[in-house]
Structure 1
Amino acid sequence: MSDDNLPKWVKPLLEFGPVLAFFVAYLRMKGTSYKLGGSEYDGFILVTALFVPLLLVSTAILWKLTGKISPMQIMTAVLVTVFGGLTVWLNDDRFIKMKPTLIYLIFAGILGFGLLRGQSYLRLVMQDALPMQVEGWMVLTR
């Protein structure tokens, strides 16, 4: 099935739903500690433990429905899994909090490398959402 055959709300729901669910659950569980299996976990850690599989399931559903996943979605899923897993395993919320910074650094490095080569790698990721000429992509990347 292609993006064109899906109702317009399905793709945004699958892409942003897990993030929205994370924030709603965090707001409900913040500042509370929970004892599980003899260890005490902050609400943020438990929300992270729920967020990782939710993101992976929604990404898999999106792939099943559309037959494709953008490189940005793949990188996000990998980093959330790694840093979310470290957060839960080590019971330390610093790891998941590093993820946005690392994603931005990686993307900035990739876009900067593309600019040095005279190309807009942003176009590869977003060309379906924003149809533009090559010059427009170069301006947007800068």
Structure 2
Amino acid sequence: MGLMLSEKEILANLEVNGLLSPMTESTAVWAQIMPSTGSLVLFGAYAQLAKGSYFILCMEQDKVILLPVHKITGKMDSKKEPIIMTFEELDSVEVGKNALLHKVTFTAGERVMPLKINKVAAGTKWHKDHLEKALAEIARCEATVNQRNM
């Protein structure tokens, strides 16, 4: 899917939604919500199609922005509104990683967004270029939220 979406398309979507800034431009990375392990065991690849979601995650000084990506076409999903969570409304941010990906879970009230961010996304130089800054901004978000909740 990474081969289908260009950085130019992402920036155009951010601009149309009034979200384009130097920070969102430099922190845009692929993120996905994976189906549960049970769903994967029962339904295999169909579970990703039915339950999984793809996003472009962007960080701003005081908010997390998730731009929906269409599961089939791999293009920006203009029918769905961006998901915006301000640092103030976040109850928790959990960050983890393993050899292949970073796990980030944003929780705001009843909304839980368990995202996986791959370290490498084939055919997307922009993902690799933005990953370090995006992860640094996610860590800053985590520290801000955790400090506020102490």
TM-score (norm 2): 0.29
The structure showing larger relative contact order (alpha-carbon pairs under 8 Å, at least 6 residues apart) is 2
More helix by share: 1
- Report which of the two structures shows the higher radius of gyration computed on alpha carbons: 1
TM-score (norm 1): 0.30
